[in-house]
Chains A and B, each alone.
Chain A
Amino acid sequence: MLDAFSKAVTAADAGGKFVGGGDLDSLKAFVADGNKRLDAVNAIASNASCIVTDSVAGIVCESPGLTAPGGGVYTNRKMAACLRDGEIILRYISYAVLTGDASVLTDRCLNGLKETYSALGVPTGNTARAVAIMKACAVAHVNDSNTEAQAGSKFRQMGAAKGDCAALTAEVASYFDAVGAAIG
């Protein structure tokens, strides 16, 4: 498992180089924006249950066949497995956001996931859609841009000070996209 820092070190080691000068600039930016990153991880972790259940409820609403006999989440057992997997994927994404590197997500979660799902007969189209809903939901929580209209009685915001989180948001979104690409 790598983080933003060890990734720079691994790259330097391949050439036997020291890490200095310009190599440190991106890491200094990582440190300077460290609190934003920690807030983002907190936003995802604190709303994990909401993000996961919303995404699974979303695919079921969009494709009612899923809960019909023979559907992807027909029987409570399969629905429970689906919710569990959603939480596992979101958990590894939260790790990737914390480390600032996708390696923990790809090595420990995505590697072999597509093959496992095809062996189990999980409909990957619906799974990718659930991940896309998780992405929208997580990005909204990271930016605190969720609205009462979206969330109804479950509405809550993190309330962190607002700032420019464009780069961080794009990074968070990229990890969800990586999951979609891996299983699609």
Chain B
Amino acid sequence: MKSVVTTVVAAADQGARFPSSSDLESVQGSLQRAAARMEAADKLAGNYDAVAQEAVNAIYSKYPNGQGRDMDAGTQKDKCKRDIVHFLRLINYSLVVGGTGPVDEWGINGAREVYKALGIGTDTFVCGLSFLRTRGCADRDMSAQALVEYNALLDYVINAMS
């Protein structure tokens, strides 16, 4: 799975060389930011349900009838929240590995096709995730650097779904 370390190792293996000092430098750069990433991952893991609920509320205030197949409103909201939680979980994973591998492989890859087939516009997710992007507050939710890492991944998913 793509992370800074595996990317470095894959490149070294491609060239059949031992890890060089520049390889070790880039791994060290990733480790230096790891504390902030793990703080963000930990805070998100502890509060994801409330975070997802806020995103769902934001989506349904902009799209009161929701989108997609016919089903009762409660079920539809539940499924919407389930999908938001899914993306938050993948963001949690990406914070842990320090790369976009998990959101790429398990979230974004094929997402457009799936939601198109289900008749759900990706703008609904953009709406919900954009709300979360501006909702996070340094010090109240997590430290400033942790928030930067968390927001960067939200931006990444928002851009992929836009």
Given contacts A2-B6, A98-B5, contact A20 B41 (CB under 8 A): yes
B162 is an interface residue with CB less than 8 A from chain A: no
Question: CB-defined interface of A11-30 with B at 8 Å, one 1/0 digit per residue?
Answer: 01100111111001001100
Q: How far is the CA of A35 from the CA of B34 in the complex (A)?
A: 13
Of the candidates B21, B27, B41, B97, the one whose C-beta lies within 8 Å of that of A24 is B41
Q: B residues bordering A, Cβ < 8 Å?
A: 1, 3, 5-6, 8-10, 12-13, 16-21, 23-24, 27-28, 31, 34-35, 38, 41-42, 44-46, 48, 88-89, 92-93, 96-98, 101-102, 106
Contact A6 B41 (CB under 8 A): no
A156 CB–B CB distance under 8 Å: no
Residues of A in contact with B, size category: 35 or more
A8 to B37, CA, bound (A): 14
CB distance from B64 to the nearest CB of A (A): 30
* Contact surface of A with B, Cβ cutoff 8 Å: 1-3, 5-6, 8-10, 12-13, 16-21, 24, 27-28, 31, 34-35, 38, 41-42, 44-45, 48, 88, 91, 94-95, 98-100, 104, 108
B21 partner, pick from A16, A31, A42, beta carbons under 8 A: A42
A41, B24: Cβ atoms under 8 Å?
yes
Assess the B97–A9 pair: CB atoms within 8 A: yes
Please, could you name 15 A-B residue pairs with CB atoms under 8 Å apart, sorted by A?
A1-B6, A6-B3, A9-B93, A13-B102, A18-B48, A20-B44, A20-B46, A31-B31, A41-B19, A45-B20, A91-B17, A94-B19, A95-B12, A95-B19, A99-B6
> Looking across the interface, which residue of chain A has its beta carbon closest to that of B24?
A38
Q: Which of B8, B12, B38 is packed against the most chain A CB atoms within 10 Å?
A: B38
Could you say which residues of chain B place their CB within 8 Å of the CB of A21? 42, 45-46
Residues of the B chain whose Cβ atoms lie less than 8 Å from the Cβ of A20:
41-42, 44-46, 92
Q: Which residues of A contact B27 (CB under 8 A)?
A: 34, 38, 98
Chain A residues, CB < 8 A from B38? 24, 27-28, 31
The chain A residue with its CB closest to the CB of B86 is A16
Could you tell me if B28 and A18 are in contact, using CB atoms closer than 8 angstroms? no
* B residues less than 8 Å from A3 (CB atoms): 3, 5-6, 9, 97
Other than the given A5-B3, A21-B42, 10 more pairs (CB < 8 A) read A3-B5, A13-B106, A19-B41, A20-B45, A20-B92, A31-B31, A31-B38, A34-B31, A41-B24, A95-B9
- Indicate which residue in A18, A27, A98 contacts B44 across the interface (CB closer than 8 Å): A18
- Are B96 and A8 neighbours in the complex by a CB distance under 8 Å? yes
Task: Please measure, in the bound complex, the distance between the C-alpha atom of A26 and the C-alpha atom of B102, giving whole angstroms.
Answer: 20
The 5 closest A-B pairs by CB, nearest first: A20-B45, A45-B18, A18-B45, A34-B31, A6-B1
